[in-house]
Structures are given as C-alpha cells and as structure tokens.
Chain A
Amino acid sequence: MMSEGIMEQSETGEQIIQCRDVHKWFGTFHVLRGVDLTVRKGEVIVICGPSGSGKSTFIRCINRLEEHQKGTIVVDGIELTNDLRNIHAIQREIGMVFQQFNLFPHLKVIDNITLAPIWVRRWSKDRAVKIAEQLLNRVGIPEQAQKYPGQLSGGQQQRLAIARALAMQPKIMLFDEPTSALDPEMIKEVLDVMVELAESGMTMIVVTHEMGFAKQVANRIYFFDDGNIVEYNTPEEFFLKPREERTKKFLSQILTH
C-alpha cells in the first residue's frame, strides 16, 4: 500500500485507531457530535449506552458502513477518506460481527468462511479450507462445516459469524451488539469465544450491554449518550465510581437485572 502516512508493522501499545472530532448527520439529525477515541493494539474497548445514542453508528463509521461527514478517522495508519483504495484497505483489516449475524444463507458454513479469503485475498481453495477448519474448531463448531447457516442454532450462527470475520485475519474486530438477538441460554457460548479472542490479543471494540463480559476482559468502558462519549474508565472504576449523572442513571437501569 503506497498512500502516504502508512506505518510499519505496529508494535504492541501503538495506537491502531484514532478518531478525532467525528461528526455525522442523518439529514438534520446530528447523530455523532465530535467523538474522540483512541485504541491501542491489543486493547478491548466496550461501548455501552442507551439506544439511539449513536454507538452503533459510530463503530460502523470506522469500517465505512456509514460515512462520517467531519473529523478524522485513522485506522492502522491509513486515513479513512473518500479514497477508494483506502476504504478497501481498511475494510480488509477490520472484521465485523453483526447483531443479526448476516450470514450468507445460500452458502454452506464452510463456504461462508472461505468466500472472502479466496476472492479478496486470492488464497487457494485448499489453504482457505484449512484455515476455515481451524477457525471452526476455535469457535467450537467443527462438525457443522457442511451444513447451511439456517440449520444452526442462534448461538452457533453467531460463532460462525465470528469465524467468518476472523478468516480474513483482521487486525481489528468490531462487534455490534453481538448477543442482543440471542436467546439467553446461547449468550454464554458466544461470549466465551469473544473472551478467548480477547485473551489471544485481538484488538476489539464491542458495543454491548453484557457487563459481565466487560468486567472480565475490557481495558476501558465508554459510556455513549446523545452522540458523544460521556465518560470512560477502567471497568472497576466505571462501575464503582461513575462520575456523571447520566452514567449513574444508565448503570442503575441496566444493573438491576
């Protein structure tokens, strides 16, 4: 990649995502109001907040599923602009897991995973299949390889979605409320995979309400409200000593369950 400003291989601790003063409008609705956020390599960031606060929109701006209108977003040294090449480069480096899974229903489980590596990274089929099988093992569904996504349970489907995202060997993984669409008994199996992923050193940004997960692996928790970050802290500090009123109110609402 030849665009100016590319960094050499990032070392641990180097900033891998830098967002400065990010604004976005949907028509006249100001959904993101000057968000600043920095993530270092290997960190796990949890973003929580009430619905409509813009948290999903924000992480979707990072991989250009939404377009930000003001401010800068830099991922792994590449700035996210209208440059097609930059956009594609960034999208290859980021993996995303959706609330609705969004698996490809017309392809088998194994083909869901191998599709992108074969067509985008130009791997051979054998290499792709081998990596896919390793990933299926890692997320715990090796026996489902020849089935279709529709035949899997919700928890298995989301784990497949994680495997599909990992197949491109991304540097960053984004999770947009990965467990919100799951039945309660299946949440744990997905969170376990995410915990393993975090502990293996993946850089992750997770939008979720699962506070147990946050306590376990998050480096920082950000509270989003009204289009911006209200406060952020380490998990211990965040839960025990929230500073803002809005944070306290939100915590009281979600922690009483």
Chain B
Amino acid sequence: MEPSDIPPPRVEVGVLGWLKKNLFSPWYNALLTIASLAFVVFVVRVVLRWALFSARWEVVTINIKVFMIGRYPASEAWRVIASLGIVLVLAALTWFFRKAKGRPIRRWLVLAWIASFPVIGILLRGFGEDNPFMPRVSAEVWSGLLLTLVLAIVGIVASFPIGVLMALGRRSRLPVIRVLCTIYIETIRGVPLISVLFMSQLMLPLFLPPQIRLATVMRALVGITLFSSAYTAENVRGGLAAVPRGQYEAAQAVGLNKALMMILIVLPQALRNVIPAIVGQFTALFKDTTLVVIVGLLELLGIGKAVTGQKQFIGLHQEVYFFVAVLFFICCYLMSYGSRRLEKKLGVGER
C-alpha cells in the first residue's frame, strides 16, 4: 500500500480539531463549554472590575512593612533582613553543593543549618534593654509574616523528632509503650487544633510550677508542635510499615543492634517513602499558623485583621484578606512544587 496523498479532514486536526475534541464533541459538552465560559467571563469581570477600579490598594502598599514584620520596631528591621539573608545564603549553598560527594562540605552545611537556629534566634531577640547595638525585641512583639515563619519553621523542626519517636513507640512490641503512644496520637488527631492551642494557652500554665511563666508565643509553639507531631507520627508509621520485615532481619543477621538498625537501615527507607506526606504536613502546618489569631497572637492574618481596624483603613477587608490569601497561595504553591521536584529527584516510588 502506498502512503496516501489525501490529507485528513480539516476539522480533525490543528486548532480546530483540538477545539472540537476537547470542548464541543458530544453535544452536551458544547453546552457545558458555553455555560463554563459564561461563568468564567462573569467571575473574571467582577474580580477585575473590583481589583482595578473600586479596590483601595493603598491599605496594602502603605502597610506592607506591617504585614511583613508586624510590630517589630522598624529601626531594627535590619535584623530581620539579616536573618532572611542567612537563610537564603545557606539555601543557595545547599543547592549549589547538592551533588557534592565530599563528606566535609555536607557535614559543615548540616552544622551550619543547626547553628543558624540559635543565631537567628539571638539576632531577632537581641540582648538586654540597654544594649545599643541589639536591644531586646521580646518575642511578644514579633508579628506579621515574621511570626508566621517562626511558628511554622520551629514547629516543623520540633515536631519531627517527636513524631518519629511516637511512630516507633506506636509500633513497639512492648504493650505499655504502644498503648500510651496510641492514646497520645489518637487523642490529638481526634480534636481540632484550636482546642490544642487553647489547652497550651490556658491550661498549660496551670500545670506548671507558679514560678514559671511562659510567653504566649512559646505556649502557642508548644501547642503547634504537639499537634503536628501526632500527624507526623502517623505519616512516619505508614512509612515504617512499608519497610519489609526482611530488612529488619538482614540488619540483625549482620550484627547491628536495635538502635543502629533503626537509624541506618529502617528509618532512611521509611522516611524516603513518606516525603510527600511530610512536606504536605509542613504545608498544612504553615496554613494552620493562622489559627493563633484566635489565641491573640498577631501573625500575618491577625495583623491583617488589626490593620482593618485602624481608623483610616476601616472596613477594607476585601483588599487585605485578598492580599493575605495571595501571599499564602504563593508560599504554599512553591512548597508543593518543591515537594514534587524533591520526589522526582529521590525517585520515590521507583526502585
């Protein structure tokens, strides 16, 4: 048979073909397309008309600093920028050396990341009242996006080891440990975050010795960490279950004790399996930091609400919350994008 010289019908190929196939082919699709198009046009027109004409965006532009660092004194804002700088530099270095096989560099990087926590903490908090260089900015004053980031990052870092331990405990063969861990995990997962925050905010101080007084931020952090650790525990437990029993046996047969077996063989495989779930947990935690509004802390959303209470900006809810939503959207979308890249790089799901 010779190749045909007759081209396919015009309607089947090219732009027209795509339109026909995807939007109009069965008759009901055509109706759906028209309805959807009408809907989209309506929504876009309403939103654009609002955004371009009647919205008063100066509430965002004038207050941008407030959104970012809240009530942190503007004169000390350089410390926030410095902290951000440290993080960016470390991130760039990590990405740059990601292929490096050399042990020394990776060890230094890990140490640098660990050290960055206390360094940034001191940088933000400063020393005593009278210190000319870095006066104290108490944690009570941290607000805005700064507070959101602090809560989210410290929360995830603190909840991760607790979650792993809880997951191991829940799978333990020792009944006492298993039952206690299960009770902890299931109780926390069965109640809303707001009640855990409330517990850490109001109840925790009652059960501490009268001399100890925790800052509000600390109490919120405790609540967030406890809450997130239960969910992390469940994710890690799923990963642990996916590690075949033969791995445990081979590790034992080759002479590793329980601790080494867990650290060198089981956990690396378990965690690799659940990276998407763990990053998902981080994203959820990042969004959940907004709930501290309810216990009186002013992170990004709270600051937004406070801004709308000011006399000259009263009632500008639409603009403010739209802006806050967009900020969150950008951050979360980037996080899930990063997670997908990470999954691909580590070959999750492949052998």
Contact = CB atoms under 8 A, between A and B. Distances in A.
On whether A and B touch (CB less than 8 Å), the answer reads yes
Interface of A: 63-65, 88, 91-92, 94-96, 98, 100-106, 115-116, 119-121, 150, 164-165, 168
Contact of B255 (A101, A102, A168): A168
Interface in B239-278: 244, 246-247, 249-257, 260, 264-265, 268-269, 272
A162 B244 CA distance: 19
Interface of B: 244, 246-247, 249-257, 260, 264-265, 268-269, 272, 351
B246 A102 contact: yes
Contact of A165 (B252, B253, B272): B253
B247 A104 contact: yes
Given A100-B246, A119-B260, A106 B253 contact: no
A209 to B, nearest CB: 20
Q: Which of B254, B257, B269 has the most CB of A within 10 A?
A: B254
* Chain B interface main SS type: helix
Contacts of B244: 100, 102
Given A102-B247, A102-B249, A104-B247, A95 B269 contact: no
Nearest to A167: B254
Contact of A168 (B254, B257, B260): B254
Given A91-B255, A120-B260, A104 B249 contact: no
A92 B255 contact: yes
Q: Which of A102, A120, A150 has the most CB of B within 10 A?
A: A102
Contacts of B260: 119-120
A92 B256 CA distance: 9
Contact of B250 (A104, A120, A121, A168): A104
Contacts of B255: 88, 91-92, 116, 120-121, 168
Given A91-B252, A95-B254, A168-B255, 16 more contacts: A65-B252, A92-B255, A94-B253, A96-B249, A96-B253, A98-B246, A98-B253, A100-B244, A101-B246, A103-B250, A104-B250, A106-B268, A116-B256, A119-B256, A120-B255, A121-B255
A206 to B, nearest CB: 15
A64 B140 CA distance: 56
A105 B350 CA distance: 11
Nearest to B272: A106
Nearest to B351: A150
Contact of B254 (A100, A115, A150): A115
Contacts of A119: 256, 260, 264
B249 A65 contact: yes
Contacts of B264: 115, 119
In order of increasing CB-CB distance, the 10 nearest A-B pairs are: A102-B250, A102-B246, A96-B253, A150-B351, A116-B254, A120-B255, A92-B255, A100-B246, A106-B268, A91-B255
Q: Which of A94, A119, A168 has the most CB of B within 10 A?
A: A119
A226 B193 CA distance: 56
Contacts of A106: 268-269, 272
A98 B244 CA distance: 13
A91 B254 CA distance: 7
A20 to B, nearest CB: 23
Contact of A105 (B251, B256, B351): B351
Nearest to B249: A65
Given A104-B247, A105-B351, A65 B269 contact: no
Contacts of A105: 269, 351
Contacts of B246: 98, 100-102
Contacts of A65: 249, 252-253
Nearest to B250: A102
Contacts of A120: 254-256, 260
Contacts of B254: 95-96, 115-116, 120, 164-165, 168
B266 to A, nearest CB: 10
Contacts of B247: 102, 104
24 contacts: A65-B252, A88-B255, A88-B257, A91-B252, A94-B253, A95-B254, A96-B253, A96-B254, A102-B247, A103-B250, A104-B250, A104-B265, A105-B269, A115-B256, A116-B255, A116-B256, A119-B256, A119-B260, A119-B264, A120-B254, A120-B260, A164-B254, A165-B253, A168-B255
A116 B256 CA distance: 7
A142 B204 CA distance: 61
Contacts of A168: 254-255
Contacts of A95: 253-254
B253 A63 contact: yes
Contacts of B251: 104
A91 B351 contact: no
